[in-house]
């Protein structure tokens, strides 16, 4: 009698490409429990035998860190792209122990002392620059993680880390749930007046996915959601002002009431961060955050923001007055009394009149496959690398995910990346991001090549048409690919300093901004912009109009970022949770000179800003 071998838990493999086709939520808890037990033993052994050398400290510590990051990183990635009640439950059951391990890892006094010995040794100058950066960052990270604390302050610091991790998870889940909880089902053709064919098709497809099996672009019903590929075009084109208002109010009040309310979560996050800062010897959490950034202090950040605020405020005022005058000239019922739900609509109408250009005119020229061809042609031209499809060579988490390979001019494989391009509001959080799946490192005599996740939320294919992208979606794809190149083209062989590792957060946007600007380059644009049905190149006049419209409403866009960034500073540097001033009071105070249309009373958009409240990245302008 033979017994079949029990298959290993795919989350316990610890290296290589994640086996996404084998992973289910029920595997998370047993895999992480076993892994953490093994890593705790490894860490104890390292602490007992540590030698203050690269080989005796950094390499074994890196091995421990990478094993945990491999397994827990996969779970975190799936929380963003394939969220489910089962996965949430598994994630939350394990998260406290993961946080406890990271606290122990970061607060190890034997390891901290060994790092300081390395830095103070005569051999310090013989280390490569990347090695020195890793050591310096490890020392700073340990100090910001409470390595200098003992007794009850240390216990309290660690309790705060556990609670903050739990609150962050709740925060993100509430945003996702609140976003997908709201939708408008439109059945009357009068309700969709002004909507372009692309949105009608998308809205009918969305309705079919929710059970309206007979929905068509021509006859409806149509489902409009708060997911941006639906929300954005509706606000730009709907002639029904009452529906624009309804959708806008729902959008800005997400996660601000009911079962998905983030209000108290934010208060608690801010309270705990302030307490954490004081335990570490800082006055505010903003100072803690800036300790690992390029910006030297809050004063410098605020000076930069004020330098941007003054011209952008004046420009935004002028832009709003121009919109009001334009609406009056078109005999709009609202006249010059424009509200928040009118701005996108009249901005789009004015852009059409000024530049004779619309997103709908451009969409047919930017199907995703051609945009990828243009992007890959660009990076071959400027970096000498070749990107080719590698679909089927890696397991994926959704059928729409693509897999690609990057090779250098000699044909050597340098990196791979996944591309998850489309919006999936049921289980995928909004926005766009790059994350590392595998980092570059020297392993023995070989180089481990990096693998990146590139995630967007663009308009999906509709009714057998390819994904026809707005120009903003094209820019977003180029932007995220810039982050990906930062990760994938690194030449650093030490994992702790390769790619985006140990790069200050107010610097990581440079490669992405660099790539985004190539969208306007003539060679790049005409290399990808062809009509998806006829193959016709983008007309020259469209290109000229696109260039002319490039800075349209830029004052308002810049001021919006200054508003968010200033709000971030105020909440993390001056606001006192539980004091006489509420977060909404802070919002109103900040808005006085950073908005030209003051926020509505129910505006709680900060309840949804994952990057600046939930993760605590002190962003200035760059991380929003």
- Residues serving a catalytic function are 480
Dihedral over alpha carbons 68, 69, 74, 80 (to 10 degrees): 130
H or E element, residue 329? helix 298-329
Whether the CA torsion 568, 570, 573, 575 is positive or negative: it is negative
Between 263-279 and 554-573, two packed helices, what is the crossing angle to 10 degrees?
60
- The bridge status of strand 222-225 relative to strand 386-389 is unpaired
Query: And the tokens for 465?
Result: 């048409």
Q: Report residue 386: phi and psi, to 5°.
A: -120, 125
Query: And the tokens for 340?
Result: 């928040």
- The bridge status of strand 413-422 relative to strand 183-186 is unpaired
H or E element, residue 435? strand 433-438
- The bridge status of strand 451-458 relative to strand 413-422 is parallel
Q: How many residues does the chain have?
A: 624
H or E element, residue 322? helix 298-329
CA–CA dist 248, 603 (Å, integer): 10
Query: And the tokens for 573?
Result: 């540097």
Question: b vs e for 589-622, b when ≥16 Cβ sit within 10 Å of the residue's Cβ?
Answer: ebbeebbbeebeeebbbbbbbbbbbbebbbbbbb
DSSP state of 225: E
Measuring CA to CA, how many Å separate 299 from each of 471, 562, 569? Answer: 36, 15, 10
Cα of 530 vs its chain's centroid, Å: 29
Residue 578: left if φ>0, alpha if ψ -120 to 50, beta else—which one?
A: left
3-state class of 154 per DSSP?
helix
H or E element, residue 454? strand 451-458
Q: How far apart are the first and last CA of the chain?
A: 61
CA–CA dist 26, 331 (Å, integer): 60
Token match 């129910």: residue?
A: 602
Query: And the tokens for 325?
Result: 């005058």
CA Rg, the chain, in Å? 26
Are the CB atoms for 254 and 355 separated by under 8 Å?
no
3-state class of 386 per DSSP?
strand
How buried is residue 529: exposed, middle or buried, by Cβ count under 10 Å (0-12/13-18/19+)?
buried
Whether the CA torsion 584, 587, 589, 592 is positive or negative: it is negative
DSSP state of 564: H
Partners of 216 in beta bridges:
220
Going by C-alpha positions, the residue among 119, 10, 133 that lies closest to residue 500 is: 133
* Residue 163 CB coordination number (10 Å): 16
């Amino acid at each position: 009698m033979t017994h079949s071998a029990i298959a290993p838990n795919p989350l316990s493999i610890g290296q290589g490409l994640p086996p996404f086709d084998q992973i289910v939520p029920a595997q998370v808890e047993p895999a992480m429990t076993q892994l953490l037990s093994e890593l705790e033993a490894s860490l104890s052994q390292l602490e007992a035998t540590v030698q203050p050398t690269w080989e005796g400290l950094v390499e074994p510590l890196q091995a421990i860190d990478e094993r945990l990051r491999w397994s827990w990183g996969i779970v975190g990635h799936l929380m963003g792209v394939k969220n489910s009640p089962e996965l949430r439950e598994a994630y939350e059951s394990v998260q406290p122990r993961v946080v406890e391990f990271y606290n122990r890892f970061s607060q190890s006094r034997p390891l901290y002392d060994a790092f300081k010995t390395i830095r103070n040794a005569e051999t310090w100058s013989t280390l490569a620059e990347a090695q020195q950066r890793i050591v310096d960052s490890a020392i700073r990270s340990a100090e910001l993680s409470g390595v200098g604390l003992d007794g009850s302050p240390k216990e309290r610091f660690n309790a705060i880390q556990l609670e903050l991790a739990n609150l962050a998870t709740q925060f993100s889940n509430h945003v996702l749930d609140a976003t997908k909880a709201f939708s408008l089902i439109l059945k009357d053709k009068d309700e969709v007046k002004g909507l372009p064919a692309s949105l009608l098709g998308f809205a009918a497809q969305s309705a079919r996915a929710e059970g309206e099996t007979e929905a068509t672009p021509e006859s409806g019903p149509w489902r409009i959601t708060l997911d941006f590929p639906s929300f954005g075009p509706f606000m730009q084109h709907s002639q029904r002002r009452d529906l624009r208002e309804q959708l806008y109010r729902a959008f800005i009040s997400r996660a601000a009431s009911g079962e998905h309310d983030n209000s108290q979560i934010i208060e608690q996050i801010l309270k705990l961060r302030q307490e954490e800062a004081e335990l570490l010897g800082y006055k505010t959490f903003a100072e803690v955050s800036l300790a690992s950034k390029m910006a030297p202090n809050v004063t410098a950040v605020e000076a930069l923001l004020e330098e941007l605020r003054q011209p952008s405020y004046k420009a935004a005022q002028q832009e709003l007055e121009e919109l009001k005058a334009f609406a009056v000239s078109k005999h709009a019922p609202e006249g010059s009394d424009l509200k928040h739900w009118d701005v996108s609509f009249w901005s789009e109408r004015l852009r059409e009149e000024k530049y004779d250009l619309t997103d709908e005119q451009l969409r047919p020229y930017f199907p995703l496959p051609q945009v990828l061809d243009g992007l890959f042609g660009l990076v071959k031209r400027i970096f000498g690398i070749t990107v080719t499809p590698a679909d089927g060579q890696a397991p994926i988490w959704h059928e729409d995910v693509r897999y690609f390979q990057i090779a250098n001019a000699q044909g050597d494989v340098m990196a791979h990346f996944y591309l998850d391009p489309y919006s999936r509001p049921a289980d995928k959080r909004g926005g766009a991001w790059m994350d590392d799946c595998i980092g570059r490192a020297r392993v023995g005599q070989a180089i481990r090549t990096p693998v990146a996740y590139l995630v967007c939320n663009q308009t999906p294919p509709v009714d057998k048409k390819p994904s026809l992208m707005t120009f903003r979606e094209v820019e977003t794809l180029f932007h995220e690919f810039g982050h990906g190149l930062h990760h994938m083209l690194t030449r650093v062989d030490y994992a702790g300093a390769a790619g985006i590792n140990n790069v200050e957060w107010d610097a990581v946007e440079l490669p992405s901004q660099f790539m985004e600007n190539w969208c306007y380059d003539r060679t790049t644009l005409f290399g990808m912009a062809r009509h998806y049905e006829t193959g016709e190149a983008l007309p020259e006049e469209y290109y000229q109009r696109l260039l002319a419209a490039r800075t349209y409403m830029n004052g308002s866009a810049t001021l919006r970022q200054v508003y968010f960034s200033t709000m971030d500073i105020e909440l993390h540097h001056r606001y006192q949770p539980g004091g006489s001033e509420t977060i909404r009071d802070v919002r109103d105070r900040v808005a006085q000179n950073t908005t030209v249309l003051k926020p509505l009373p129910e505006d709680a958009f900060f309840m949804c800003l994952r990057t600046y409240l939930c993760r605590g990245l002190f962003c200035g302008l760059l991380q929003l």
